[in-house]
C-alpha cells in the first residue's frame, strides 16, 4: 500500500530528515552532512546532481519544483526594472527576497546584491527545505470527496486510492506567482494605509 505523502504539518526536522536522505542518496554522502546551513556546492553537487535531486524531491514530497527562479517570475509580475537593474537587485527585489527566503539565507546578502549573488543563496539546504514547505502548503493532501490521504498518482498528480480520483499538483512556478501577487497587494495595502 502506498505511503501517504508528507504534509505542511510536518516539522522542520521531519522535512529536513527526508530531504537529507534524498540529497545523501543522490550525492552518495552521509546524510548528517546535509545541515540547514550547508550549501550544495560544499556538499559537492554539480548541475546534473541538482537536476536529479529536484526530480527525487518531487517524488519524495509529491510536489512540482519551480522551473524558474522566483526573481524571474517577479520580473514578469512586477515589471523588469522593479526587481533588478543592470544585473543588480533593486531595493524592492531585496525586500521580496527577504520576505520569501529564510532569514539565515538573507543574512549574508549585502545590500547591493547581483542576480548571481542572490542565486547562490538559493543553493542552501535551508532554502530548499523552505521551498518544500511552501509547495506542500499548496499541494492537495486529502481527498475532497472521502477525506482519505492522497498518494502519488500519475505524473504531476496525486491520487485517492479509495475513490480512484486524481488531482493535479500546482506547479512551483504558479505557487511563486500567486505568492508574488499576494505580496504585491500586501505592499500596496501597506503603502496606501501609511500616512504621507
Mean pLDDT within 94-121: 83
Q: Judge whether residue 194 has pLDDT over 80.
A: no
Give the start-to-end residue ranges of the domains of the chain: 12-186
CATH classification (class only), 12-186: mainly alpha
- Selection from 3-7, 18-22, 141-145 with the highest mean pLDDT: 18-22
Do residues 136 and 7 make contact, with C-beta atoms less than 8 angstroms apart? yes
Residue with cell 546551513: 37
From the list 113, 111, 101, 108, the residue with the least C-alpha distance to 70 is 101
HSE-up of 191 (CA within 13 Å, CB side)? 6
Report which of residues 129 and 121 the model is more confident about: 129
Residues 129, 127: Cα–Cα separation, whole Å: 5
**Residue 83 vs residue 189, higher pLDDT:** 83
pLDDT tens, residue by residue, 35-81:
999 999 999 999 999 999 999 999 999 999 999 989 999 999 999 88
CA angle 6, 129, 13 (to 5 degrees): 65
* 111/92 Cα distance (integer angstroms): 11
Looking at residue 196, what is its pLDDT?
A: 32
Q: Is the pLDDT of residue 34 over 60?
A: yes
What is the number of alpha carbons within 13 Å of residue 63 lying toward its C-beta? 28
Amino acid at each position: 500500500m502506498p505511503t501517504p505523502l508528507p504534509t505542511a504539518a510536518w516539522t522542520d526536522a521531519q522535512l529536513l530528515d527526508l530531504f537529507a536522505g534524498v540529497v545523501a542518496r543522490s550525492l552518495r554522502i552521509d546524510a548528517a552532512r546535509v545541515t540547514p546551513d550547508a550549501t550544495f556546492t560544499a556538499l559537492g553537487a554539480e548541475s546534473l546532481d541538482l537536476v536529479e535531486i529536484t526530480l527525487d524531491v518531487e517524488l519524495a514530497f509529491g510536489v512540482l519544483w519551480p522551473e524558474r527562479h522566483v526573481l524571474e517570475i517577479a520580473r514578469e509580475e512586477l515589471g523588469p526594472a522593479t526587481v533588478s537593474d543592470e544585473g543588480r537587485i533593486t531595493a524592492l527585489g531585496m525586500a521580496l527576497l527577504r520576505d520569501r527566503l529564510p532569514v539565515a539565507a538573507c543574512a549574508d546578502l549585502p545590500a547591493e546584491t547581483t542576480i548571481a549573488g542572490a542565486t547562490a543563496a538559493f543553493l542552501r539546504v535551508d532554502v530548499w527545505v523552505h521551498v518544500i514547505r511552501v509547495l506542500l502548503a499548496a499541494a492537495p493532501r486529502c481527498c475532497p470527496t472521502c477525506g482519505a490521504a492522497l498518494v502519488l498518482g500519475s505524473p504531476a498528480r496525486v491520487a485517492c486510492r479509495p475513490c480512484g480520483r486524481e488531482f493535479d499538483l500546482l506547479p512551483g512556478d504558479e505557487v511563486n506567482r500567486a505568492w508574488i501577487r499576494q505580496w504585491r497587494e500586501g505592499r500596496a495595502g501597506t503603502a496606501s494605509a501609511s500616512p504621507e
